[in-house]
Copies of this chain bind each other. A is one copy, B any other.
Amino acid sequence: MENKFNPIKDYNLSKEKLIKMYQDMLKIRYFENKITDLYSKGLMPGLAHLYIGEEAIAVGVCNNLTERDFATSTHRGHGHLIAQGCDLKRMMAEVLGKEDGYCRGKGGTMHIADFSKGILGANGIVGAGIPIATGSGYSAKVRGTDQVTVAFFGDAASNQGTFHESINMAAAWKLPVIYVCENNLYGISVDIRKVANTKDIATRALAYDIPGVVVDGNDVLEVYMVTKEAVERARRGEGPTLIEGKTYRWKGHHLGDPGRVYRLEKETKEWMARCPIKTYKERLLNENVATDKELVIIEKEIKQMVEEAANFAIKSPYPKEEEAFEDLFTEPEGVK
């Protein structure tokens, strides 16, 4: 059965879309490898929470969105932004705290935002994006558009009060919001099973009588299709969906955390063997969606793009001291 089903053909996706998702995942991977590099050279200040290993979720989800849709992101947000088409140069400049960054150096990795692409901000407070996304959904409803909003958050975030409060409102009012829980099994060092009695976070959807779906978060096509249904449902005005993608972060909680003491090496290795990019690549080749040569070119292009982003960011100047007093209030009011 399983091997008779050809997901790529049966899902009826264009080659363009299929390739784009491969590109998006690669962009995330290379972008973050580059961050690791810059961090180790002392060029990146602060904390880098890497998304490596979880690329399929952001990419599978965001490929259902347009620039008119919205998403709230997390402390582990690079993937969401890249999948939503944000500019790697301005992202990298922000990560390095530079003037040309999306936030002029004020936000950094934990707060990159790109309002032009509907990204309402990465967020340093676990669970805080969930109500904001819910408000964005409320807004679409009031304004009468068919925009949807995605709230990304982790397994551990699903223990915050905001998860409950927000999904409750979205369910009661049938708001067009997709709640995407990236269950990578841990919140920093804490195994979700130690602090929650819930095998699948998606089960929590029962509390609000909305659909809750568990999906293999390392399978970009599965994520894509499940999200597609949720997005269509939301656009039809039928309300929110809770999607749980099971996945794993390959690295520590952030660069600087080896991520080992609280996880078994075996576990990490098993998950790394199920690399979302590698398996997807094999699929694209097996299903003859693309040739090896095409994929090699794509990979080269993306490496190049990331390289350029890094160079751009490195060359970008630091913001000037006095800029610290800008951007608090809209003009002409100024700071005080």
Residues of A within 8 A of B (CB): 159-165, 168-169, 171-172, 194-199, 203-204, 206-210
Interface pair B195/A169, CB less than 8 Å apart: yes
Q: Which residues in B have their C-beta under 8 angstroms from that of A172?
A: 194-197
A-B contact pairs, 27 of them (CB 8 A): A159-B165, A159-B168, A160-B161, A160-B165, A161-B164, A161-B165, A164-B164, A168-B195, A169-B195, A171-B196, A171-B197, A172-B194, A172-B196, A196-B208, A197-B208, A197-B209, A197-B210, A198-B207, A198-B209, A199-B209, A203-B206, A203-B207, A203-B209, A204-B207, A206-B206, A206-B207, A207-B207
Quick one: which of A160, A165, A169, A197 has the most chain B CB within 10 A?
Answer: A197
Q: Which residues in B have their C-beta under 8 angstroms from that of A210?
A: 197
Known: A172-B194, A207-B207. 15 other contacts (CB 8 A): A161-B161, A161-B165, A164-B164, A164-B165, A168-B195, A168-B196, A169-B195, A172-B195, A172-B196, A196-B208, A197-B208, A197-B209, A198-B207, A203-B206, A204-B207
Closest to A127 in B: B161
Q: Which residues in B have their C-beta under 8 angstroms from that of A204?
A: 207
Q: What 5 A-B pairs have minimum CB-CB distances, sorted nearest first?
A: A161-B161, A164-B164, A171-B197, A204-B207, A207-B207
Q: Which residues in B have their C-beta under 8 angstroms from that of A160?
A: 161, 165
Closest to A162 in B: B161
Q: Which residues in B have their C-beta under 8 angstroms from that of A207?
A: 198, 203-204, 206-207
Q: Which residues in B have their C-beta under 8 angstroms from that of A165?
A: 159-161, 164
Closest to A170 in B: B197
Q: Which residues in B have their C-beta under 8 angstroms from that of A159?
A: 164-165, 168
Q: What distance in Å separates the Cβ of A129 from its nearest Cβ neighbour in chain B?
A: 15
Closest to A171 in B: B197
Closest to A199 in B: B209
User: Bound state CA distance, A111 and B160, in angstroms?
Assistant: 27
User: Bound state CA distance, A201 and B184, in angstroms?
Assistant: 29
Q: Which residues in B have their C-beta under 8 angstroms from that of A203?
A: 206-207, 209
Q: Which residues in B have their C-beta under 8 angstroms from that of A164?
A: 159, 161, 163-165
Closest to A131 in B: B161
User: Bound state CA distance, A196 and B198, in angstroms?
Assistant: 21
Q: What distance in Å separates the Cβ of A181 from its nearest Cβ neighbour in chain B?
A: 13
User: Bound state CA distance, A165 and B171, in angstroms?
Assistant: 19
Q: Which residues in B have their C-beta under 8 angstroms from that of A168?
A: 159, 195-198
User: Bound state CA distance, A210 and B207, in angstroms?
Assistant: 12
Q: Which residues in B have their C-beta under 8 angstroms from that of A196?
A: 168, 171-172, 208
User: Bound state CA distance, A162 and B164, in angstroms?
Assistant: 9
